[in-house]
Structure formats: structure tokens, C-alpha cells
């Protein structure tokens, strides 16, 4: 099959319609379509593009599609492949949103979501309890927790900054006040 914009789009659209699950699911689908059926790339290239797709931020399937599409037809191929792979998921999300928009108006469905919401709160609290017992182990970790809570809840400090500051505080604390097992003096 010729490597045209439309053929690349159709091929990746087909893969996108079958793509349910994480990034690993795309490998056998692309192996079948691109290597075995069309011969556009070989298995080694497919593995290289998969590794590249994993190494950059974003959705592995979309990243990988961009790399393969670019090899096949340059920027046009990258656009065709990326658009093709995400179109089915986008269409499904729009369809589900439309259906949910109508369903959410029903009292029965509102009751279900209310009950599910309570269940989710319970699961979050259980996760917090589990994390608490493993994280808050001394006065220093309690001080970090209280500082982070106050900065987040009352001063609207960015969570990223709180995490970075907590990490730095933990490093300083460990270096200054605790001897890490297995460490040797320099």
C-alpha cells in the first residue's frame, strides 16, 4: 500500500479503534499493520519507535505514531498518524460525554453517583491512612507534613514547590542528623 496521508491516517485510525489499554497494547497491533501487512517499517524500527515513544512525555501510542508517521511521510505523515490514532478515542469520549450529559439528569443516576462518591472518599481516606503510617514516623516528618498542609491549604502554594521543598528538607535532615546505613565517611 502506498504511503499517502490518507492511507497513513486510515491505518492509524484502525489501530486506534482497537487500542484498549496501556502503551504495550499498541505493539502487536502496529506489528501486524505496519510490518506484516504493509511492510512500511521493520520490527527493529518498530521497537526503536516504541522506545522513543516511551522516552518522551505524553501518550505512548500518540508519541510512537508521530515517530512512525514522520518516517513514512515527514511532517504530513506525523500529523496523519497522530490524528488517526487519537480520533477514535476522542470520538468515544465525546459520545460518552453526550450520553452521560443526558443520564446525569435522571434521579436514579444521581443517586448512583452520590453513593459512588462516598465510596471514593472512603478509598481515599484508607489510602491516606496507609500512607500516613509509613510516612509520618517521627517529629521531623510530622513537621514536614504540617508545613506542607499549611502551605497548601491556607497559603495556596503550588504542590510542585511543596514537594520540592519537602524533598530538600528531607535530604538536609538525613545528611545533617541521620547516618544512613551503609554510608561511609569521605
What is the per-residue pLDDT for 25? 80
Cα–Cα distance, 74 to 69 (Å, whole number): 7
Which residues, at least 6 apart from 159, have a Cβ–Cβ distance to it below 8 Å?
152
Q: Tens-of-pLDDT digits for all 186 residues of the chain?
A: 899 999 999 999 999 998 876 667 888 889 999 999 999 999 999 999 988 988 899 888 999 999 999 999 999 999 999 999 999 999 999 999 999 888 889 999 889 989 999 999 999 899 888 888 888 889 999 999 999 999 999 999 999 999 999 999 989 998 888 765 555 554
What is the per-residue pLDDT for 95? 94
Residue extents of the structural domains in the chain: 5-103, 107-177
* 140-162 residue pLDDT tens: 999 999 999 999 999 999 999 99
All 3 cell numbers of residue 98? 453526550
pTM here is: 0.59
What is the per-residue pLDDT for 174? 87
Burial class of residue 116 (count of CB atoms within 10 Å of its CB; 0-12, 13-18, 19+)? exposed
Cα–Cα distance, 49 to 35 (Å, whole number): 13
Amino acid at each position: 500500500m502506498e504511503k499517502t496521508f490518507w492511507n497513513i491516517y486510515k491505518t492509524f485510525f484502525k489501530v486506534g479503534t482497537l487500542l484498549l489499554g496501556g502503551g504495550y497494547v499498541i505493539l502487536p497491533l502496529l506489528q501486524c499493520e505496519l510490518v506484516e501487512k504493509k511492510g512500511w517499517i521493520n520490527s527493529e524500527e518498530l521497537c526503536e519507535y516504541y522506545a522513543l515513544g516511551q522516552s518522551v512525555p505524553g501518550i505512548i501510542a500518540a508519541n510512537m505514531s508521530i515517530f512512525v508517521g514522520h518516517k513514512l511521510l515527514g511532517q504530513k505523515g506525523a500529523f496523519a498518524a497522530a490524528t488517526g490514532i487519537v480520533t477514535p478515542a476522542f470520538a468515544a469520549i465525546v459520545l460518552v460525554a453526550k450520553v452521560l450529559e443526558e443520564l446525569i439528569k435522571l434521579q436514579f443516576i444521581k443517586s448512583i453517583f452520590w453513593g459512588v462518591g462516598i465510596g471514593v472518599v472512603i478509598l481515599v481516606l484508607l489510602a491516606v491512612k496507609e500512607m500516613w503510617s509509613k510516612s509520618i514516623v517521627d517529629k521531623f516528618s510530622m513537621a514536614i507534613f504540617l508545613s506542607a498542609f499549611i502551605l497548601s491549604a491556607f497559603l495556596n502554594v503550588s504542590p510542585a514547590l511543596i514537594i520540592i521543598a519537602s524533598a530538600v528538607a528531607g535530604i538536609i535532615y538525613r545528611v545533617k542528623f541521620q547516618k544512613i546505613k551503609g554510608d561511609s565517611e569521605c
